Structure 1
């Protein structure tokens, strides 16, 4: 019974982490460029009362006798499916049709990556995120530029007074990773590379590296499936209740044994 208590407790702890993940996904269902997470579980070590394949009397035991000791959370996988596009008509809003990421420079100089293409201008006209992280490579739009366009290949153009033709103001780059699911979320819609994700591969939008293309005037919605998350929430709740019931039953059996000893 003591073993059952700890085994059921491990299941309750795992489902609590599962519910925490579901809650975070639902909380960010309206966050631009958000990537939902899915929790993965593993069974824990087994107690071998009879090892499978060991000799027992004159016969070899084929199945053996093993008792599991519960479950644990193994990984929190980032789901990198494309989110739906939302038209904003803002010329500085960009969505990536493909697997690429925008590159931004954080205040400490490190480079982070994001799918959130809602850009703004600082007092110098440089494009930056809502948190003030500069877009890399730097793209600066003069204050007197009008009719700013960003092509699907990342070319930024605008009309400058006194010039008859549109002037090219800069070119954007995107980044991809061999294993984008291995990126580390650091908040503020940003990711950082890890050993699991590999180093960033940079290229122009629409190139041969599979970056994808840009869509001006659009933002990518979160890829969270709200209905699916509600289903996962119900399943987590039922699994938690089941493990809780095991705790009560094991406690009752243990109480009965204590009563017999008395």
Structure 2
């Protein structure tokens, strides 16, 4: 059921900008349980839902020719800040200029520069050029530099909606990560593959359900026969 939920969410976001498909990580859990005798122990094995991991493989880059649209060419994130001052991360580079003159996401989160401050763009700044290292320039000169970071481990990223992530894992400055101006990254979800995975999960679920029903019928039959013998 957990896998089915994740696959369904992947399919629902097949057209979401910069969406990263997810997969569930399971872990075997072994422990000992007392048996019938005081010294009898038996090993019990269970499966734990360990977490969800995003697949950071790049989606296709789609040209938009909008100077404020940017896409990342490798794994990593841009840093944003919401109204509560919370530090968040995104790969959705569809930016705009707010009424306050700040570079923001479509939902209003401020894009942070390498100095951890919002990037301000004045009305006089025209012919915006964003270099592959995130440096923003206009006819009036350099405006700022978009902060890009990477993680050593992407497990544990918490989705916050609107293509935003949160984590308390340590970040590091991006290495070998480039920005592409005038383009947006597409979702890396392959709908056909995800539907195939959904069918596989459904069949596994149905097989397990049949096994449980068979076991229940065997148990009921044994109880019925035992009650007749005792009678």
Please report the TM-score for the alignment, with normalisation by the length of structure 2. Answer: 0.85
Correspondence 1:158 to 2:138: yes
Correspondence 1:259 to 2:230: no
Match of 1:193 among 137, 146, 167: 167
- State the Cα deviation string for residues 81-133 of structure 1 (Å, max 9, x = none): 11111111111110011223111111111211111111111112210011111
Q: Measure, in 1, the Cα distance between the counterparts of 2:119 and 2:33.
A: 63
**Per the alignment, do residues 252 and 26 of structure 1 end up closer, same or farther by CA in structure 2, a change over 3 Å counting?**
same
- State the match for 1:216 in structure 2: 181
Q: Any unmatched runs of 5+ in structure 1?
A: 1-15, 51-65, 160-165, 203-208
Shift of 1:169: 2.1
**Residues 67, 181 of structure 2: 8 Å contact kept:** yes
Match of 2:64 among 88, 96, 102: 88
Q: Any unmatched runs of 5+ in structure 2?
A: 36-41
Shift of 1:46: 6.5
- State the match for 1:250 in structure 2: 215
**Residues 176, 211 of structure 1: 8 Å contact kept:** no
SS in 1 for 2:188: coil
Shift of 1:29: 1.2
Match of 1:126 among 73, 94, 102: 102
- State the Cα deviation string for residues 128-169 of structure 1 (Å, max 9, x = none): 01111111022222223322111112221223xxxxxx5222
**Residues 32, 116 of structure 1: 8 Å contact kept:** yes
**Residues 100, 210 of structure 1: 8 Å contact kept:** no
Q: Measure, in 2, the Cα distance between the counterparts of 1:41 and 1:183.
A: 16
Listed as ranges, the matches of 1:166-245 within 5 Å are: 166-194=140-168, 198-202=169-173, 209-245=174-210
Provide the aligned C-alpha RMSD in A: 2.3
Please report the TM-score for the alignment, with normalisation by the length of structure 1. Answer: 0.75
- State the match for 2:38 in structure 1: none
Which structure would you say has the larger Rg?
1
SS in 2 for 1:116: coil
- State the match for 1:3 in structure 2: none
- State the match for 1:39 in structure 2: 24
Correspondence 1:111 to 2:82: no
